[in-house]
Amino acid sequence: MKKGILNILKGTFLVNDDAFKNWRMILFVSSLAFVMIASSHSADKKVHKIARLNNEAKELRSAFVDGRKKLMELKKESMVELKMKEKGLAISEIPPTKIKVKSQN
């Protein structure tokens, strides 16, 4: 037990005659660790991108609601009347009449 721990600390298990098995295992574990780290970074990038896109969607939704509110305000009769007074137009006092056209065939 003590000899095995001493061999690991000194690194003699890497230069022995059967060290090829050890090196294969070390390379395999290292490659798995590399793949795991790369996968973790990729997942983190996706999480950050999703958060950024959610914030952008919230901003766009807010801008849409604000624009819709302004449009509804501009479409009010009182607002239209005010804008037309600025241009010199006013609401007619005489109500509109319906014109009926009879077909000639």
Task: Identify the sign of the CA torsion 41, 43, 49, 52.
Answer: negative
Please report where in the chains the tokens 């969607």 appear, as a residue: 57
Using the predicted structure, report yes or no on whether residue 15 has a pLDDT greater than 90. Answer: no
Q: How does residue 25 score in pLDDT terms, banded at 50, 70 and 90?
A: confident
d(CA 45, CA 80): 50
Yes or no: say if 73 and 79 are a contact pair by the CB < 8 Å rule.
yes
pTM for this structure? 0.57
Q: What is the three-class DSSP state of 66?
A: helix
Domain spans of the chain?
2-86
What is the secondary structure of 33-53 as a DSSP string?
A: HHHHHHHHHHHHHHHHHHHHH
Could you report the per-residue pLDDT of 44-95, keeping only the tens digit for each?
Answer: 999 999 999 999 999 999 999 999 999 999 999 889 889 899 998 888 889 8
